[in-house]
Amino acid sequence: MSAPTSHLREPLVLGNPPYAQITNEVLVPMENMPTKTWYGAFSISALCLAVGLCAIGWQISEGIGTWGLNKTIGWGFDITNFVFWIGIGHAGTLISAILFLFRQKWRTSINRSAEAMTLFAVMCAALFPLIHMGRPWFGAIWFLPYPNLRGPLWTNFRSPLIWDFFAISTYFTISAVFWFIGLVPDLATVRDRAKHPIRKIVYGALSLGWTGSNKHWVHYETVYMILAGLSTPLVLSVHTIVSMDFATSVIPGWHTTIFPPYFVAGAIFSGFAMVLTLLIIARKVLNIEHLITIKHLENMCLIITATGMMVGLAYATEFLISWYSGGNYEGYCFYNRATGPMSWSYWIMVSCNVISPQVFWFKKMRTNVAVMFVMSLVVNVGMWFERFVIIVTSLHRDYLPSSWAMYTPTWVELITLLGTFGLFFSLFLLFTRVLPVIAIAEVKAVKKFAQRKPAAAAQTSYAGGLPDLAHAPAAPEKGV
């Protein structure tokens, strides 16, 4: 007797493909020559990167006077872009670590791309503190606490620049190790399929002698679990440190304890939107729509909706706190955000981050690929403007009306931002050519749960990891 329809769950892999077919569908695109679409996309992103590098070289040569900063607005596009890119990188750790610990099987098709996106976004973010120093070739001397006799020139641990350095380096290191460990089983598969001797040697070295034995799988699962546990606090700690760049100051609009949870929710919000943007394109171009299904995209839309409401609550709470505190400066800061000369940026932020995600309350909208793609772009535009609003509108009218000023970015700042997008997409496109974009072993592990089963039976299922290849079904499973 079949289970009631209300207790059936949607499959994680459509069409019930055999294990070998899953391997081929993921690896054949990276084993063959790139398509014209790939070459076109890479040419555009590489061009943006080249133009951005020219702008960076110009501002290093001429100094940060090439920016639109002034005595009142000491932070502008550079810090806005830094916080934006750090936020983009948070979804990868959330999908990989936290959803793994909570045994969310739907993460298996999207975690690899999200983890790669995290690393590339952190690389983009790391550019801005280096540029902001003015003379980045002295960065190692100013950042690293090594023994010396210079006394007063010892590393200043009270500087937000130092906090950002340790946040970025720690986050990047742990995320890279976690990403690489997850790649090892798939790298061994690429090694075994490689025909060119150099390719075989490279992937053989990267796969660390993986044979797929039971001993290797046990060690793999143990290490992966430990790294997931270590990575989880990073989701909270890294963007909390970034928020303290502002919260520890005395500037109205910054000096508030709501910033740490506010920044973390916003980071997850923007990160999931960027993952959604990339995966909607990748699943179509790579023809893997049955592996990255509408259900995967819908789940991400639900998380975007939840975190978007958290961000909206934070916006309202800021206004409430500024009113309840009775502080004239704090109250005027938020009044100026909503009604001042730069209020256009505030209302773009509210429209994109608070109002637009509400369309995902309707299932028809959050299962429509075109709507999801547009909304993912809208959310990222809104989150960039959120950082712009926090930084610039809090600075341009401070305590003294005599020092009030406006801010307009220069062409150097605009092209530098364009260059970071070029770097991000160039790295992601190269990633699709040299590494599996989907965790093959993890998708195979959940394939046996891809049938439509009663929800009660799913409670005993394993969340991901070792695929039972030795007992793979001889005949196709029914009900998919």
Q: Which of 450, 452, 449, 446 is nearest to 2 (CA)?
A: 452
473 band by pLDDT with thresholds 50, 70 and 90:
very low
- Decide if pLDDT at 160 tops 70: yes
pLDDT digits (tens, 9 = 90+) for 316-325: 999 999 889 8
Residue 476 lies in a domain: no
Residue 238 is predicted with a pLDDT of 83
- Tokens standing for 119? 């690393």
The dihedral through the CA atoms of 322, 326, 329, 335 has a sign that is positive
Phi-psi region of 284 (alpha: psi -120 to 50; beta: other; left: phi over 0): alpha
Q: How many CB atoms lie within 10 A of CB 326?
A: 8
Residue 25 belongs to domain spanning:
13-143+158-448
Q: What is the pLDDT of residues 296-352, one digit of tens each?
A: 899 999 999 999 999 999 999 999 998 898 888 888 999 999 998 999 999 999 999
Using one digit for the tens of pLDDT, what is the confidence trace for 64-113? Answer: 888 988 888 888 888 899 999 988 988 788 788 888 888 888 888 888 98
Q: With respect to residue 350, please indicate whether it lies within any of the assigned structural domains.
A: yes
DSSP 135-157: -GGGHHHHHS----S-GGGS--T
pLDDT digits (tens, 9 = 90+) for 114-139: 999 999 999 999 888 888 877 777 76
pLDDT at residue 52 in the model: 94
Asked, for residue 480, whether it belongs to a domain, the answer is no
Q: pLDDT value at position 449? A: 63
Q: By the 8 A CB rule, do 173 and 234 touch?
A: no
Highest average pLDDT, of 211-220, 225-234, 443-452, comes from 211-220
**Higher-pLDDT residue of 478, 34:** 34
How far apart, in whole angstroms, are the C-alpha atoms of residue 252 and residue 147?
38
CB contact at 8 A, 256 and 318? yes
Contact criterion met (CB below 8 Å) for 142 and 148: no
Taking phi over 0 as left and psi of -120 to 50 as alpha, with beta for the rest, 245 belongs to alpha
- In this structure, is residue 459 part of a structural domain? no
Confidence of residue 151 (pLDDT cuts 50, 70, 90): low
How far is 441 from 178, CA to CA, in rounded Å? Answer: 15
CA–CA distance from 458 to each of 10, 38, 209, 449, 472 (Å)? 12, 39, 34, 8, 18
Phi, psi of 8 (to 5 degrees): -90, 140
This prediction has a pTM of: 0.86
Question: CA of 168: how far to CAs of 50, 232, 424, in Å?
Answer: 24, 15, 16
Task: Name residue, tokens 């960039």.
Answer: 384
Say if 2 falls within a structural domain: no
In a domain, 223, yes or no: yes
242: domain CATH number is 1.20.1630.10
Give residue 90's identity as a one-letter amino acid code: H
Residue 479 predicted with pLDDT over 60: no
Give the pLDDT confidence score for residue 9 in this predicted structure.
65
Number of domains in the chain: 1
- Which pair of tokens denotes residue 310? 């958290």
Q: Find the helix packing angle between 197-206 and 160-193, rounded to 10°.
A: 130
Angle at 283 between CA 280 and CA 288, to 5 degrees: 155
Residue pLDDT, tens place only, 408-465: 899 999 999 999 999 999 999 999 999 999 989 888 888 776 554 444 443 433 334 4
As a whole number of angstroms, the distance between CA 460 and CA 54 comes to 56
The answer to whether residues 435 and 30 touch, using CB atoms and an 8 Å cutoff, is yes
| N residues, the chain | 480
CA–CA separation, 76 vs 211, rounded Å?
Answer: 51
Q: Which residues contact 396 (CB under 8 A, 6 or more apart)?
A: 72, 73, 342, 404, 405, 406, 407
Q: Which residues in 137-153 are b (16+ Cβ under 10 Å) and which e?
A: eeeeebbeeeeeeeeee
**Does residue 196 form part of some domain?**
yes
Contact 418, 430 (CB under 8 A): no
Instruction: Name the pLDDT band for 148 (thresholds 50, 70, 90).
Output: low
Structure tokens at 247: 């919260």
In terms of Cα–Cα distance, which of 46, 113, 440 is closest to 277?
113
Is 475 part of a structural domain of the chain?
no
